[in-house]
Amino acid sequence: MVPSRTPANDTVLPELIAICGPGFARPAGPGDTVADVPARWVAAPGSVSAVTETMRLAARHRLAVVPRGAGSKLDWGSPPTRVDLVLDTGRLAGIRHHSTDGLVAEAGAGTPLRAAQSVLARAGQRLALDPASVDATVGGVIAADEAGPLRHRYGAPREQLVGVSYVGADGTLTSTTGRVARTSTGQDVARLLFGSNGALGVLVSATFRVHPVPAARCWVSRSVWTPLEVHDLVGEALAGQLAPAAVEVDLPGSSGTLSILLEGRPARVDARAQQAAAVLRGDAWISAAPPPWWGRYPFAPGEVALKLAVPISDLHAVVYALRDAAGTTVPVRGSAGVGVVYAALPGHTPPERLAAVLEAVRGVLMARGGSCVVLSAPPALRAAVDVWGDVGGLALLRQLKRRFDPEGRLAPGRFIGGL
């Protein structure tokens, strides 16, 4: 059970300042909200030991804690039931261990992904992580389980993970790096943090596999007009020997673009690009630069942002269902070769209309083993609809939450299913 809000405590802020240092703990301001829920204090610990001390303080005072990286996705998912302390991970930044031989790198949770890529690039390496949130931190990518086009070849970030270090609700530091820690039900503890929105622990570092920077890249694109056409072309592209690094689609209206990313040695990329153009046919063209929409979400601030996941063989059926339910063309963009796409609905959609759209789409998805989640929406809409839909294994998720956070103080209400 989530404890009730604690009364104002004059000792909390001085204790936070003593742990984090002057200037790194303060009363929360107007911008320190989580999905529009205001916080009371903000603290930015400068070390792992300071994080453990901060969490022990929070346990003593029964404070609800929400971790924050760059804050680019704090409006995603369910709002917390309350926020006493925002724990800013910005000072937990930097590449701590980078083994060029072992092809792994450990980064602090607050490390901007762009900064990590810049450091690795000096050694001719990269993380195969390319989320659409340009300011995303390593911790933010994990908390939101955010992936970009490269998930096609390398898998989602959780599949590239080697290990993590995180601090639990009671201030205990746990490290799974170099070993696989599992729960009593056999689940990989490190991977459970993905998509948890900070509700299972405060991530302090993560170790990922790294890969050589490809010598050459090119994009092969063509115009498309219907979801069924996209379905057929993706099937043909994946059936051949193209070995794409990513297959993305953009359907902003009555027409759109299907694009394939090819990577590797220059001569081989050139040959595969010609093969891809022959497979795509139509007005297929080859470019050394990505389309302007590549790796970007189709939604803007203030709109309803949806994430749809379904087997690629059924993706076209779900897009048609979304259009039929909305009564109009809906902008859709994402990884057609994986079956994960994003869609945007107007922020002024009436709540009852949005609920009807979600019900219709989820009905189609349920029969196909898919899901539709409302990533973000204006507060009134988010409060009026079921953000998560039918969550499989809810009882197990509730059990996991109780195990990691018995008092319900870590991002309460932010876990999958609103737990």
Q: Which domains are delineated in the chain?
A: 1-213+390-419 (3.30.465.10), 216-287 (3.30.70.3450), 304-387 (3.30.70.2740)
- The b/e string for 119-151 (b: 16+ C-beta within 10 A; e otherwise) is ebeeeebbbbbbbbbeebbbbbbbbbbbbbbbb
CB 345 within 8 A of CB 357: yes
Question: What's the pLDDT at 4?
Answer: 46
Give the integer Cα–Cα distance in Å for 92 and 85. Answer: 17
Residue pair 196/415 in contact by the 8 Å Cβ criterion = yes
Separation of alpha carbons 36 and 394, rounded Å = 25
Separation between Cα atoms, residue 406 and residue 180, nearest integer Å:
23
| DSSP 8-state code for residue 214 | P
CA distance 231 to 319: 11
The closest of 377, 383, 374, 419 to 398, measured between CA atoms, is 419
Q: How far apart are CA 29 and CA 198, in angstroms?
A: 21
Burial class (CB in 10 A: 0-12, 13-18, 19+), 327: exposed
Distances from the Cα of 64 to the Cα of 169, 316, 318, 408, angstroms: 10, 42, 38, 8
Task: List all residues 6 or more positions away from 298 whose beta carbon is below 8 Å from its beta carbon.
Answer: 250, 252, 331, 332, 333, 342, 343, 344
Pairing of strands 41-43, 25-27: antiparallel
User: How far from each other are the two terminal CA atoms of the chain, in whole angstroms?
Assistant: 10
Give the residue among 87, 126, 95, 99 at the shortest CA–CA distance from 112: 95
Sign of torsion, CA 236 239 244 245?
positive
Q: Give φ, ψ of 387 to 5 degrees.
A: -65, -35
**What's the rounded Cα separation, in Å, for the pair 419 and 411?**
9
What is the dihedral angle through the alpha carbons of 297, 303, 307, 313, rounded to the nearest 10 degrees? Answer: -80
Question: Can you give the pTM of this predicted structure?
Answer: 0.94
Distances (CA, A) of 185 to 47, 121, 181, 405: 32, 39, 11, 17
**pLDDT averaged per 10 residues in sequence order, the chain, 419 residues:** 54 97 97 96 98 98 97 93 97 87 91 97 95 96 96 96 95 79 59 93 96 97 97 96 97 95 98 98 98 98 97 96 95 98 97 97 94 96 94 90 96 95
180 in Cβ contact with 95 (< 8 Å) = no
Residue 381 tokens, joined:
């809409």
Tokens standing for 118? 């810049």
- Taking alpha carbons only, the member of 83, 84, 2 closest to residue 36 is 83
| Contact (CB, 8 A) for 78 and 2 | no
How far apart are the C-alpha atoms of 222 and 238, rounded to whole Å?
Answer: 16
Q: Are 261 and 149 in contact (CB under 8 A)?
A: yes
Q: How far is CA 275 from CA 218, 271, 281, in A?
A: 13, 6, 10
**What amino acid is encoded at 182 in this protein?**
R
- pLDDT on residue 3: 46
pLDDT at 8: 57
